[in-house]
Amino acid sequence: MSTATSSTPGSESGYSYLRHPWPIRVAHWINVIALAILLASGLQIFNAHPALYWGKSSYSGRPPILQMRSETAPDGRDVGITRILGHDFHTTGVLGLSLEDGSASERGFPSWITLPGQQWLSLGRRWHFFFAWVLVINGILYLAYSLRSGHLRRDLQPTRRDWRSFGKSIIDHLRFRHPVGEEARTYNVLQKLAYLAVIFVVLPFVILMGLGMSPRMDSLWPGWVDLVGGRQSARTLHFIGAAALVLFVGVHVFEVIVTGLWNNLRSMITGKYRISGSNASES
């Protein structure tokens, strides 16, 4: 996010520069594929036992904190029910009960969002663990590159000026007001913090909670998984972490669209990002 290439600084009509070098672009799109597959195959695995618990085991005498199931209503129709912390929600057709090809079937998440589509736990696990490795290796390469190239320090580490603009940045985001011109060459402070949180907190946490479900990894230091409440808590936190990633992607895509879809998209494909001059507008 630094090297100017075909830049003509000072030009009234603006200029283009190389915003994202190729290693960042490649890592970004590998992440897109890996996270999409991890989400879909993760929901396939979840569907094998569509309930979440808090504690060391699932059978502790306490009810699950989230459960999806189907049951027959008094009028004879099958309904999908999602129970969250003791409250029942009717989620027929989406959660608990899917209606496809005219027939109803009991399943947690619907087939259009799981990989494979049909109930197929063993293959879901293969997809999940293969792309978990893709994500981890891609993440390690990204971090190595970011540290070496200075991307982390230069583009992501908040500056003192950033911290001072913290309140203003919140207000700007709420008003959908986005920096233009030279100011758009750097990430704003909320953006930096969101990226740093995903890179250094959410993704490592999700991976760690995934490993917490592994009986072999639990033997590395017996009892470590109790630090988060136990294996079933780790499973719940893995799910919540994944939901946090979905939320991040949603906000990220929204911001990409409202701050100039084509300019942003181009910068992540060819690397080139256009800075508009004082009179020019990005068309």
Partner 1 sequence: MLQNPKDRRNFVLQALASASALMLSACDAVSRSSWGPKVLGAGEHASRAVQRALTSKTSLAQEFTEADLSPAFRSNGTDSPANDAYQAMAADGFASWKLRVDGLVRTPLTLSLPELRAMKKRTQITRHDCVEGWSAIGKWTGVPLSELLALARPEAKARYVVFHCADPMDEDGTRYYESIDLEDAHHPQTILAYELNDQVLPMPNGAPLRVRIERQLGYKMAKYIMRIELVESFAGIAGGKGGYWEDQGYEWYAGI
Residue ranges in contact with partner 1 by CB under 8 A: 33, 36-37, 40, 45-46, 48-49, 51, 53, 56-61, 115-117, 120-123, 125-127, 129-133, 211, 213-220, 222-223, 225-226, 231-232, 235, 262, 265, 269, 283
Pick 144 or 220: Cβ nearer partner 1: 220
Pick 79 or 115: Cβ nearer partner 1: 115
Pick 279 or 283: Cβ nearer partner 1: 283
CB of 43 to partner 1, least distance (A): 12
CB of 136 to partner 1, least distance (A): 10
Residues 6+ apart with CB under 8 A from 152: 143, 146
- State the Cα–Cα distance between residues 167 and 169, nearest whole angstrom: 5
CB of 4 to partner 1, least distance (A): 22
Beta strand pairing call for 66-72 and 78-84 = antiparallel
Residue pointed to by tokens 């396939």: 44
175 neighbors 190 (Cβ within 8 angstroms):
no
CB of 9 to partner 1, least distance (A): 23
Tell me the CA distances in angstroms from 63 to 46, 57, 66, 73, 77, one per residue in order.
Answer: 17, 11, 9, 22, 26
CB of 74 to partner 1, least distance (A): 30
Pick 18 or 52: Cβ nearer partner 1: 52
- State the Cα–Cα distance between residues 52 and 230, nearest whole angstrom: 12
CB of 40 to partner 1, least distance (A): 8
- State the Cα–Cα distance between residues 281 and 283, nearest whole angstrom: 6
Task: Report the interhelical angle of 261-269 vs 231-258 (nearest 10°).
Answer: 110
Residues 6+ apart with CB under 8 A from 240: none
Pick 99 or 134: Cβ nearer partner 1: 134
- State the Cα–Cα distance between residues 185 and 276, nearest whole angstrom: 11
Pick 170 or 265: Cβ nearer partner 1: 265
Q: What is the DSSP string of 199-250?
A: IIIIHHHHHHHHHHT-HHHHTTSTTGGGGGT-HHHHHHHHHHHHHHHHHHHH
CB of 262 to partner 1, least distance (A): 6
CB of 22 to partner 1, least distance (A): 18
Pick 20 or 151: Cβ nearer partner 1: 20
- State the Cα–Cα distance between residues 27 and 42, nearest whole angstrom: 21
- State the Cα–Cα distance between residues 254 and 175, nearest whole angstrom: 14
199 neighbors 35 (Cβ within 8 angstroms):
no
Pick 120 or 248: Cβ nearer partner 1: 120
